[in-house]
Structure 1
Amino acid sequence: MSAIEMPQRLPLWQRLFFAIPVFGWLARDAANGSAEDWYYTAGAIFSMWGCSALLFGLPGLYLPALAMVPVMFLILILISRG
């Protein structure tokens, strides 16, 4: 064991996801930050959803919720598998 431990390199998919300008920054803060960063991340996501509803009207409100349907199906399948 050496005196200095090198930081572990992230997998390619994480490096690519964290490189996305807005969502990657939020995800990096949520993954590596403190417990309060989860609240800030959730607030930022709901604020972006609200801004899209104000900017685009009803499609801006419905389309993000519709995009979350496959994610919720995946979560329900993972819960049912144990």
Structure 2
Amino acid sequence: MTALPSAQPGLLSRLPLVGFIARDIGRDINIVFYLLTILVTALVLAIKTWGLVALAMTALAVVPVYFVLLILITRG
């Protein structure tokens, strides 16, 4: 584990809900893997509870992210 150099606190680290996660990622990058595990577990539990609707709503929420990624890839 290597310590990343601390940067000036940005807008993301000031937000109440995700600020502590952004600061933790700034200290240790391995937190991302724990976060992904938590998100996948929450998705599986949502699908078990609400069925295919939870999967469809998750896919619908990710569409803008994919559009931005595709635009960034094509711009070079």
TM > 0.5 between the two?
yes
Q: Return the TM-score normalized by structure 2.
A: 0.71
- The residue aligned with 2:47 is 53
- How far off its partner does 1:9 sit? 5.2
Mark the runs of 5 or more structure 2 residues left unpaired by the alignment: 1-5
SS class of match (2:9) = coil
Quote the residue 2:60 is aligned against.
Answer: 66
Indicate yes or no: 2:75 matched with 1:76. Answer: no
Three-state SS of the structure 2 residue aligned to 1:68 is: helix
**Residue 61 (structure 1) shift:** 1.4
Residue aligned with 2:59, SS:
helix
List runs of 5+ in structure 1 lacking aligned partners: 1-6
| Identical counterparts, % of pairs | 32
Q: CA RMSD in A?
A: 2.1
Residue 9 of structure 2 corresponds to residue 10 of structure 1: yes
